[in-house]
Structure 1
Amino acid sequence: MGMAVTTLRTGVEEWWAPDLSPNTSQPPTFDPKYGFPNGRKEREPTLSYEEMVAHKIPEEYRDYCAHYYVDMLKCFRKNMPFGYRCKHEKHHWEHCEYEEMVGRMKEYEREKRLLQRAAKKKLMAPMSEEMEE
């Protein structure tokens, strides 16, 4: 129930005010270091793209958690048909995927807040000029 309401609300907001909702198919419009006085640590995947291709990782799993995915597959191959012995590796991979999803949601919300802030500043600019005169 909660997920459907969230999805509906996000969909309505994107329809009602598309200029205030980030476009998820494009890169962020604001500087990633904006608002971080000491800078921000750049995230880099543990495996390079060539290593991911060499391990034959499916395209949808080529992300920051690919090294956990490789460890899980190695364990599954080693312990076949007793896959339940790899629950530790699977847990690490799922936890990493969850943290990655939370990070994407935070980035979306940050972009959305910055878009709303920019629109508010743009709206308030003519009013502040009138007050000065």
Structure 2
Amino acid sequence: MGAHLARRYVGGADSEPDPLRMPTFPPDLGLPQRPPPAPPEVLSLARLPLSQRDFCSHHLLALLRCRRETFPEPWSCGELKHQWDSCEHRDYVMRMKEFERERRLLQRQKRRRQREEAAAAAEPDPPRDPGLTPT
């Protein structure tokens, strides 16, 4: 556990994305942008906490509605709970893919920069004109 943290602090911090900041590369470079399934007005009317307003909030709203309608029997909403859990898992996997994409793009940018610096350092000096040397 903690291998991703050790990678960030021990070595390669310049090619490791900061998980607390927004991605630095535009989203149209790789994965398609996902629209939120429920509008923010509906989520605020349902009084969902900000921590649960994600891409699976429409499943959570259906689950809460089912639990409210079938109050003494919460086990009757098992299918909706399963849908919400699987959506949360898919969302987690998608966020990890976005993080890996960001990490790979940062590594690619670092390799390109190093290659350009090496090519600039390997270029020979231009020939000097012997007639322009000061005497």
The TM-score, its normalising length taken from structure 1, stands at 0.85
Which runs of structure 2 are paired with 1:92-103 in the superposition (5 Å)?
92-103=83-94
Query: Once the two structures are superposed, what CA deviation does each residue of 1:54-100 show, in whole Å capped at 9, x if it has no partner?
Result: 01112111011111000000111111121111010001111111111
Q: Which residue in 2 is equivalent to 1:29?
A: 24
Letter aligned with residue 102 of structure 2: E
Residue 129 of structure 1 and its aligned partner are, at CA, apart by 2.9
Q: Distance in 2 between the 1:41 and 1:118 partners?
A: 21
1:90 matched to 2:81? The reply is: yes
Partners of 1:113 and 1:41 in 2: CA distance: 17
Counterpart pick for 2:7 among 13, 36, 41: 13
Matches within 5 A, 1:37-116: 41-116=32-107
Structure 1, unaligned stretches of length 5 or more?
none
CA distance in 2, matches of 1:91, 1:77: 17
- Quote the RMSD (CA, aligned, Å): 1.5
Equivalent residue, structure 1, for 2:130 = none
Deviation of 1:126 (Å): 2.1
Q: How far, CA to CA, are the matches of 2:118 and 2:99 in structure 1?
A: 30
Deviation at residue 45 of structure 1 after TM alignment = 1.1
2:27–2:33: 8 Å Cα contact kept in structure 1? no
Greater RCO structure (CA 8 Å; 6+ sep): 2
Q: Distance in 2 between matches of 1:55 and 1:44?
A: 19
Letter in 1 for 2:20: S
Q: Which has the larger radius of gyration?
A: 2
Q: Percent identity?
A: 31
